[in-house]
Amino acid sequence: MARSIHVLRSGALGTALTALLLSITLPSSAQELADTTDTTPVMSHQEALSLDAEEFTKTSSLSEEDMESRLELENEIAGSIEEIRTISGSRLSAVYVLPEEALAIHVRLTGDNEIERLSELSSSLPVPLHVEYGATYSQEELVEATNEISERIVLENIKGVDGVEVSGTTESLVFVTNSEADNSTRSSLVGIASEVLGPKPDVASRGVIHSPIGVVFEEHEGSAENTSRGGVALSSCTSGFTVVSGSVRGFLTAGHCGNTQKFSTTPTGSLTQSSTFKSQNYGKAADIQWHTPTVAASFKQFFGSSATSATTQLGTQTTYVGQGLCHRGKVSGYSCGYVTSVSFAPTWSEACNGLGCSAVFVRASGTNLANRRGDSGGPWFGGAYAYGIHSGGLIADVGAWAAFTPIAKISTLGVTLYK
């Protein structure tokens, strides 16, 4: 089957319907009451996480019980990883976990001087912390370079490149390419990377010049495709989580889906409901928008690991490399994969509304990860925790990779998760 990269047109809202919208007319004063009268079954975080564990064990040697414990720990340490990023500051080169190993946090830093606060934090963590010093580049420097490279790929119209990212685990850049890329393309990309991140003297080594950063090519079949933008009905999109601004509730979806949307109230329902566009952030650093339902009520739930039972929205978390997360799309349904980078810049056509994308998107891949046209706008989650809003990726029923906007970006819309 031919596979291709596509900025996905999202599917019917009910797919991820975090908004879990009822197809009944209610006055605004009755919306709180509606939360208690809906008959849709609702799962707890633990019940949802159990289904995630079942999905991940299809490609893991862990038992479902052990996988569930691991996924619970992954959610638990998300806050600690954010603290590590803060403590490390401008010296942070990478922080990640390795899916194929016992759960542990790995940190790589520039310079040779130890950071005592990391040692102090280590004793309070539920998993081991491994710190490596002596990295050549900080993550901040790598992201800045990736942003410049992304801009050049778009401006120079380099074909066959669907994205570039800071490797989550090694000190290198990863170019995600398709069948249009040839040796000349790869040579050009190496040249650009060398120009942007060329040899750098190491002060600690008294001026010794390091070689340019490593460049890795991740090649996939297929090619990038253009996508129609404004005016795409939500019948070909997926909804994300329920959000609130003051007393106004609504639902998230992808910015490229268009501003006029109808939706269903279940993953398989008909498009009977109307919505009102509120605002969007669709450009270099995000692909999100939100709408309010015209007559239906909104709920603190979303369809995630189940298409028949909704999951309670527990809150938001920080994403990190190596983490196992899942998503739901109208077309592909429910599938899971592992985060490969939190500094990914898509470069497929119109990925960022005609602009060069910044390296702030998250990319995930997996043996069983699915990604189809129609999935855009859907939720990325771990159990009941919200992590992001789906944007696009490699079109495939299995073995896909996908990119999403981190959930923290919803603050730019003036909304917060409804929970």
The whole-chain average pLDDT of the chain stands at 84
Element of type H or E holding 192: helix 183-197
Residue 215 φ then ψ, to 5°: -120, 130
**Rounded to an integer, what distance in angstroms lies between the CA atom of residue 46 and that of residue 80?**
21
Q: State mean pLDDT over 295-319.
A: 87
Band of residue 38 on the pLDDT scale cut at 50, 70, 90: low
Element of type H or E holding 73: helix 64-76
Give yes or no for residue 118 having a pLDDT over 60. yes
Band of residue 194 on the pLDDT scale cut at 50, 70, 90: confident
Band of residue 354 on the pLDDT scale cut at 50, 70, 90: confident
Q: State mean pLDDT over 140-145.
A: 94
pLDDT tens-digit readout, 82-115: 999 999 999 999 999 999 899 999 999 999 999 9
The CB-side HSE value for 362 (13 A sphere, CA atoms) comes to: 27
Burial class (CB within 10 angstroms; exposed 0-12, middle 13-18, buried 19+) of 259: middle
pLDDT for 14 equals 40
Contacts of the segment 98-103: beta carbons below 8 A, 24+ positions apart:
98/169, 98/322, 99/322, 99/324, 99/338, 103/70, 103/73, 103/74, 103/77, 103/127
pLDDT for 322 equals 98
Q: State mean pLDDT over 202-210.
A: 43
Element of type H or E holding 164: strand 161-166
Q: Is the dihedral of CA 57, 81, 205, 201 positive or negative?
A: positive
The CB-side HSE value for 331 (13 A sphere, CA atoms) comes to: 22
**Rounded to an integer, what distance in angstroms lies between the CA atom of residue 19 and that of residue 240?**
7
Q: State mean pLDDT over 68-72.
A: 97
Q: What is the edge-to-edge ordering of all strands in the sheet holding 42-43?
A: 42-43, 310-312, 301-302
pLDDT tens-digit readout, 359-411: 999 999 999 999 988 899 999 999 999 999 999 999 889 999 999 999 999 99
pLDDT for 35 equals 42
Model pTM score: 0.86
The CB-side HSE value for 134 (13 A sphere, CA atoms) comes to: 3
